[in-house]
Amino acid sequence: MEYDVVIVGAGPAGLSTAIKIKQLDSNLNVCILEKGSEVGAHILSGNVFETKALDELLPQWKEQGAPVKTKVSKERFLFLGKNKSLNWPTWLLPSVQKNHKNYIISLANLCRWLAEQAEKLGVEIFPGFPASEILYREDGSVKGVATLDMGLDKDGNKKEGYQEGMELHAKVTVFAEGCRGHLGKQLIKKYNLDKEKNPQQYGIGFKEIWKVNDQQHHEGLVMHTAGWPLDNKTYGGSFVYHAENKQVYIGYVIGLDYKNPHLSPFDEFQRFKTHKDIQKTLEGGKRIAFGARALIEGGIQSLPKMYMPGALLIGCDAGTLNMPKIKGSHTAMKSGIIAAETIIENIKNKKDLSIYEEKFKKSWAYKELYAARNVKPSFSWGLILGIIFTGLDQILFRGKMPFTLKHKHADHESLKLASQMPKIEYPKPDGKITFDKTSSVYLTGTNHAENQPVHLRLKDSNLPISYTLQKYDEPAQRYCPVGVYEIQEEKFVINSQNCIHCKTCDIKEPSQNITWVAPEGGGGPRYGNM
C-alpha cells in the first residue's frame, strides 16, 4: 500500500502530526498504524494537561467538544516521612511545577477525540495493526513499515485464519510509538542517532483510578509528594489528581536507575497508599482501574537526532518529555506539529528532513527541555541535594545555569549485586487499599491471543538462571509490574499473556537480555479512560 505519509502510533504526537498535515494539504494521503485494539487502549498518563500545543493545533477545541474540562483549582506538595508529612508552600515551588492554568484529563480519551478530528480530515487509522518491521530502500533510507503476520502459533507455524502482514510504503514515515518504541530503538541504533548523547533515562509509572466518597473528593485538586516510602538515594514521587465524577487519579513514578535489585516498584506504590495522608482520600472508595508504563526522562542530554533518510522520530519515541514539569503530552504534540510542517516542505519543496531538527530547536518545546535539563541528573546526588539544586536552578536561575549536568549511566547499569543490598520486606496486600499484581492486571483488560509467538524475546535463554538469578536475584520478578516473569523450580518462566507493554523489562534487565517486540494486533491492555 502506498501513502504519502505513514505514522506509527496513535498517541498525541502521531495524531497531531496527521491532523496538521491534513490542515496544510488535504490532498496528501496519510495513515496511522496503532497496535492497540482501539485508539487509546494503550494510552496511560497522569494526566495534568497543558493546552499550549492543542491551542495551536485546534484553536476551537472547546467549541469542538474536546474532553478537556476539569481545570486545576488547587495545588499541594507534600514531603512524606513514614508517619508524618510536611506541607510545602506552593509559592515556593518552581513555576515549571505550577498547574493553575492546566486541566486534569484522561489522555486516552483526548487521543480518541483527536483521532475523530483526524478522521474527519481524511486520515486513515488502522487500530489493531502493529508495525513490526522497518522497510528500507536500496539507498538505505526508510521506505515504510510492515505489519505483523496474524495467526501464527508459538512456533511460527500458520494457524487457521492466518493473515499475512501488509507492507506500507511512504514518502516519509513517522515513528510515534511512545516511550521505548521497539522500532525507534532499532532506528537509533542503525543510524547512530544517539552519537555523543548521554545514555537515555527512564522511570516506571503506575496509575490507579479510584471512585471515592463525596467528602474525600475535591474536584480540581492536584497534589504531588516526594520522600517515603523511597529512601533518599532512590528517585521517585507521586501524584494525586481529583478529576470529575468523584474520581481520583493516583499514581507513583520511580526512576529506573534505582540500585537495589530487591526493590519492587509495584509494591512501593502499594505501600505509598498506606501513608495516613494518602489513605484518608481512598478509604471507603473503590479502585476501578490500574495501569503501568515506562516513561522517558533523559531530556535534551539524551535526545537523539530526530531525523534520518525517509523518516522522523517524534514525541516520547525520541524523548521530548519535560521531567520536572511532569508533562510530555504538550511537547509530544508540538513535536508532531513541527514534523508535519517539515513533511510538507519535504514533499512539496524537496527540503531535506534535517530541517526538522532546526525547526524543533527554535520551538518553545526545545526551550522548555533546555531549561529543565539539569533537574533529573541532579537527583543522582540524592533527594535532599536534588531538591536544593532544583530550587536554585529553576527558581533563581530559571534553568539558565552556565553548565549542563550529564547522565553517566544507562538504567540497566545501575543495579548493585543482590548480596550487597538489603532485602526489602513488603506487607501483604489488604484488598482494600493495597492489592496484588494478579488483581491489578485483571483491571487492565489485558489479553493476548492464545498460542502465538512470545513477544518477550531472550537473547540467551540460559542467562536468567546462570547469571541474573545468581548475581541479582533475578530482578525481573520484581520490576515487572504484573508478574510476567517468575522463577519456578530453577526455570525462568515468561507469562507473556500478562504483559501490559510497559517496556520496563526491555529497559532495566541488567544484561539487556530481554527484548520487547510487537505481539499480534490488538493484544495487550485495554485501558478505558486512563
Q: What is the CA radius of gyration of the chain?
A: 22
Mean pLDDT of 378-406: 94
Mean pLDDT score of the chain: 96
DSSP per-residue string spanning 408-426: -S-GGG-PPPGGGS---PP
What is the per-residue pLDDT for 161?
85
What is the per-residue pLDDT for 160?
87
DSSP state of 96: G
Nearest to 275 by CA among 225, 340, 331: 225
What is the per-residue pLDDT for 468?
97
Grid coordinates belonging to 264? 519492587
Nearest to 187 by CA among 204, 173, 208: 173
Q: What is the pLDDT of residues 147-203, one digit of tens each?
A: 999 999 998 899 988 999 999 999 999 999 999 999 999 999 999 999 999 999 999
Given a cut of 90, is residue 85 above it in pLDDT? yes
What is the per-residue pLDDT for 95?
86
CA 261 to chain centre: 22
Q: What is the pLDDT of residues 476-488, one digit of tens each?
A: 999 999 999 999 9
Minimum mean pLDDT among 65-79, 85-99, 260-274: which range?
85-99
Residue pair 519/448 in contact (Cβ under 8 Å)? The answer is: yes
Give rounded-to-5 percent helix, strand, coil for the chain: 30, 25, 45
As a whole number of angstroms, the distance between CA 429 and CA 475 comes to 20
As a whole number of angstroms, the distance between CA 10 and CA 68 comes to 18
Nearest to 318 by CA among 39, 113, 103, 11: 11
Dihedral of the CA atoms 248, 254, 255, 261 (nearest 10)? -160
Residue pair 326/344 in contact (Cβ under 8 Å)? The answer is: no
Residue pair 469/477 in contact (Cβ under 8 Å)? The answer is: no
What is the per-residue pLDDT for 197?
97
Given a cut of 90, is residue 90 above it in pLDDT? no
CA 302 to chain centre: 16
Grid coordinates belonging to 436? 496484588
Q: Is 78 exposed, middle or buried (0-12, 13-18, 19+ CB in 10 A)?
A: buried
113 three-class SS: helix
Query: What's phi and psi for 224, nearest 5 deg?
Result: -125, 155
Query: What's phi and psi for 337, nearest 5 deg?
Result: -60, -45
What is the per-residue pLDDT for 469?
97
Q: What is the pLDDT of residues 446-461, one digit of tens each?
A: 999 888 999 999 999 9
What is the per-residue pLDDT for 361?
97
Query: What's phi and psi for 108, nearest 5 deg?
Result: -60, -45
What is the per-residue pLDDT for 94?
86
What amino acid occupies position 190? K
DSSP state of 447: B
Enumerate the domain spans of the chain. 2-63+108-198+299-371, 375-409
Residue pair 450/529 in contact (Cβ under 8 Å)? The answer is: no
Please give the C-alpha separations between residue 206 and each of 132, 319, 322, 482, in angstroms, as whole numbers: 26, 19, 18, 11
As a whole number of angstroms, the distance between CA 270 and CA 481 comes to 11
Grid coordinates belonging to 47? 494526566
Whether the ω angle into residue 47 lies within 30 degrees of 0, i.e. cis, is: yes
Please give the C-alpha separations between residue 57 and each of 31, 51, 336, 350, 404, in angstroms, as whole numbers: 18, 10, 10, 24, 32
DSSP per-residue string spanning 67-94: S--EE--EEEEEEE-SS-EEEE-GGGS-
Residue pair 299/370 in contact (Cβ under 8 Å)? The answer is: no
As a whole number of angstroms, the distance between CA 6 and CA 124 comes to 10
Given a cut of 90, is residue 304 above it in pLDDT? yes
CATH superfamily for domain 2-63+108-198+299-371? FAD/NAD(P)-binding domain (3.50.50.60)
What is the per-residue pLDDT for 276?
97
